[in-house]
Amino acid sequence: MAPRKWAELTWEEIRRLEGSRPVALLPVGAIEAHGPHLPLGTDVLIADAMAEAAATKLEAAGLTPVLLPALPYAAAPFGASFPGTISVDPEAVKRLVLDLARALSRRGFLALGIANAHLDPAHLTALAAASETASSERLLPVVCPDLTRKPWALRLTEEFQSGACHAGRFEGSIVLAVRPDLVRDEIRSGLPPVEASLSRAIRSGARTFEEAGGPRAYFGRPAEATAEEGRRTIETLGEILAEAVREWLPAEGRRG
């Protein structure tokens, strides 16, 4: 069964879902430079794939997942100097996620799961703040597994764990799996590795891709990307989100 997409349903269909243990899933990415070979919307493509994979697993667990339209704008200061990157105020992201949580709480949804594929520290901080505020307001759980932290990071690829993974093999493989037509393959196949760890550079105080050692807005080994690896990674990302959502549900939402 194809995942339910909120924007394709009618209001009466949504009303019928409200009594069936519904969970909303929000793909979140950024419009941001991803090297000379991947599209600016790479994060959104990854987030969509992650949400769809999670929806399949939540459905199998007896829940009713519904995919919200993706949020493509985020705080992206690391790539802000590159043409095409659109970086917004982190507070805007926080407020929007909170407003969604309030609206979904009023409609009786069990949780808002966020399939987040954008790992800029400013953006991660905004999502964490939204989750904390939702909890303090006693709204539905806003569940956003931080892929940069344990235990989730340990389930992802070696390149991802190294931190040299922006527009590299990890992300390139996923895009090859879902939208190969958007990969500039003649460029990708000739790109040399950039082994600088973005995560290590962030801990050392870097604030831009250039400062972190990525002058062309990519890190890792893009030439090694494969669609097969991308499909495996999508499955793992879906498992991570589905597990995180179920962990936060009240007992009645975890049955099945």
In this structure, are residues 35 and 218 in contact, taking their beta carbons and an 8 Å threshold?
A: yes
Strands 111-116 and 22-28, by their bridges, are parallel
Contacts of residue 7, Cβ cutoff 8 Å, sequence gap at least 6: 68, 69
Domain boundaries, the chain: 21-247
**Residue 72 pLDDT exceeds 70:** yes
| Residue in the structure block whose two tokens are 């964490």 | 128
At residue 222, what are phi and psi to the nearest 5 degrees? -60, -30
Question: Rounded to an integer, what distance in angstroms lies between the CA atom of residue 175 and that of residue 112?
Answer: 25
Overall average pLDDT of the 242-256 stretch: 75
**Residue 234 pLDDT exceeds 70:** yes
Question: Rounded to an integer, what distance in angstroms lies between the CA atom of residue 152 and that of residue 237?
Answer: 9
Overall average pLDDT of the 238-251 stretch: 91
Angle at 238 between CA 241 and CA 193, to 5 degrees: 105
Predicted TM-score of the model (pTM) = 0.96
Sign of the torsion angle spanned by Cα atoms 104, 109, 111, 112: negative
pLDDT digits (tens, 9 = 90+) for 127-183: 999 999 999 999 999 999 999 999 999 999 999 999 999 999 999 999 999 999 999
pLDDT band at 251 (very low <50, low <70, confident <90, very high): low
Nearest to 71 by CA among 115, 40, 102: 115
Tell me the CA distances in angstroms from 59 to 132, 135, 152, 239, one per residue in order. Answer: 27, 25, 21, 12
Which stretches does DSSP call E strand in the chain? 4-5, 22-28, 64-67, 111-116, 142-143
Task: Pick one of 3.40.50.800, 3.30.360.10, 2.120.10.30, 3.40.50.10310 as the CATH number of 21-247.
Answer: 3.40.50.10310
Contacts of residue 228, Cβ cutoff 8 Å, sequence gap at least 6: 173, 177
pLDDT digits (tens, 9 = 90+) for 11-57: 999 999 987 889 999 999 999 999 999 999 999 999 999 999 999 99
Token duo for residue 115: 């399939």
Question: Rounded to an integer, what distance in angstroms lies between the CA atom of residue 176 and that of residue 125?
Answer: 29
pLDDT band at 99 (very low <50, low <70, confident <90, very high): very high
pLDDT band at 83 (very low <50, low <70, confident <90, very high): very high
The rounded mean pLDDT for the chain is 95
Question: Rounded to an integer, what distance in angstroms lies between the CA atom of residue 150 and that of residue 114?
Answer: 17
User: Using N-to-C axis directions, what is the helix angle for 42-60 and 169-178, rounded to 10°?
Assistant: 70
Overall average pLDDT of the 4-13 stretch: 96
pLDDT digits (tens, 9 = 90+) for 171-222: 999 999 999 999 999 999 999 999 999 999 999 999 999 999 999 999 999 9
pLDDT at 256: 46
